[in-house]
Amino acid sequence: MDTAMDIKLTVNGEPVAEHVDARTTLVDFLREGLGLTGSHVGCEHGVCGACTVRVDGEIVRGCLMLAVQCDGATVETIEGLSDSGEVADLQAAFEQRNALQCGYCTPGMIAAAQDLLVQAKKNKTVPTRDAIREHLSGNYCRCTGYHAIVDAVEAVAQARAGGK
């Protein structure tokens, strides 16, 4: 039985129209259908956060969402966040503070960190180290021990708030 469906969505600002199997996950669609391989696949069970992307302004696990559920949605991947310059300061801070080693977790980690910083800006708050750790607790890193990641996100949070 053909379970494929036509979907239309916006990905990183570009209109996309595709015919996709109803069982295709969002992250597989992005990687294999659109060649956007910045979103990584780790656990495929919603645990590791490597597949984190933004859908209609909210971060989601790309492995837990089906591509067909994104019909009509606006999807942003690390490629889009990077190209727009939205996360340039986070990317620089990660590099400067050695907050990445293999880099497998990094796109999802930066997408999740950006989500926290966007929320903080809306609420006019600066996240504490504990809040950063809590927010990133669903994004696993097997290399860094997390300390440098928290350092990097904290530095950007303070810089964006006009601090040091």
In the complex, which residues of this chain contact ligand FES (CB under 6 A)? Answer: 41-44, 46-51, 61, 63, 100-106, 141-144
In the complex, what is the shortest distance from the CB of residue 8 to ligand FES, in angstroms, rounded to a whole number? 24
Tell me whether residue 63 or residue 153 sits nearer to ligand FES (CB atom): 63
Q: Beta 58-61 vs 14-21: how paired, if at all? A: unpaired
Tell me whether residue 74 or residue 98 sits nearer to ligand FES (CB atom): 98
Tell me whether residue 29 or residue 104 sits nearer to ligand FES (CB atom): 104
Q: Which residue has the tokens 């490629």?
A: 79
| Helix pair angle (88-96, 147-160), 10° resolution | 140
In the complex, what is the shortest distance from the CB of residue 101 to ligand FES, in angstroms, rounded to a whole number? 4
In the complex, what is the shortest distance from the CB of residue 164 to ligand FES, in angstroms, rounded to a whole number? 25
**Distance of alpha carbon 160 from alpha carbon 20, whole angstroms:** 40
**Distance of alpha carbon 104 from alpha carbon 139, whole angstroms:** 11
